[in-house]
Structure formats: structure tokens, C-alpha cells
Amino acid sequence: MGGSQWQISPGFAAALAAFLLLLFVAYHEGSHHNKLRTRAQIIAVRSEEHFMATALTENALRIGGLTNLNQQFVFESLTAGNQNLIRPHINAVGEIVDIWQTPYRITLAGPTNFVFRSAGPNKKFGDKDDIVFNSALNSFVQS
């Protein structure tokens, strides 16, 4: 015989199969855990957007309407009278950010209406994972 032949013992084959099965299970459970974590983060952002919308609406009614939604006004609306209820996440330049550290986009849609937009888990605006709350509808909408 001119060549060598590989022979794998049954014990090694069983150990290799068990190791590969363990890797598969670990990957599958890790993937499932990440999906659950992302889902929990989305729920947290939706809750945060709804709370911020309520605070802004109350402030808009109190002052007779909205003319500007700069970050300072939004921050003051969120903390006015609620110092212990909410502390919005603020980045290094003073922007209110979502759980993924992406600044919210807040646009005025009328004297008392506005739209909150989070870029979502992928941190990119304008795609299907954006989390968008429209105060006029008092609901979340598809982007």
C-alpha cells in the first residue's frame, strides 16, 4: 500500500459529533437570546417614545401649541414636574438618544402634533426597523 489511510475511532467520532451538536445548540440559544434581547429593547424604545409624546403633548397644551422642537425644549418637557420619573438618555453633544445611542428624530407635524423616530436596532433611519410614533394618531406607524 502506497498511501496512508485515515482511521477514526468510534470514540473520537462520537466526541466530535457531541462537540458539533454542542456548538449548534449554543449558537441556536445565543441567537434566540439575542432576538429576545432586541425585542425587549424595541419594547423599551416604544415605551420611551410614548412617554415622551405624552410629556410633549401636555407641554404643548400648557403653552398653547408647539413652534419648535429643539432638543432643549424636548428635554425640558420631559423633566418639567417629572424630575424623578424620567431621565432621558443624553449623548455627549446633548441629544436625546434611544437605547442604541442613536439620536431621536423629532419633527413637528402641527401645532400640537409631532413624530418621534428611532432608527431602531440597525441604527439606520428610513428602513423597516425604525420605531415611529405619530402623536396625531397616538400610535406607532410603519416607516
pLDDT at 84: 47
Quote the CA–CA distance of 11 and 9 in Å, as a whole number.
5
Q: What single string gives the DSSP state of each residue in 50-73?
A: HHHHHHHHHHHHHHTS-S---HHH
Q: Return the C-alpha cell found at 73.
A: 425644549
pLDDT, one tens digit per residue, over 42-56 is 998 988 888 888 888
Least confidently predicted of 15-29, 101-115, 123-137:
15-29
Rounded to two decimals, the pTM is 0.69
Side chain identity at 85, as an amino acid letter?
Answer: L
Cβ of 116: how many Cβ atoms within 10 Å? 26
pLDDT at 105: 92
- Min mean pLDDT across 36-45, 76-85, 113-122, 126-135 is at 76-85
pLDDT, tens digit, 9 for 90 and up, residues 74-115: 777 776 655 445 567 888 888 889 999 999 998 888 777 889
What span, in angstroms and rounded, lies between the C-alpha atoms of 122 and 131? 11
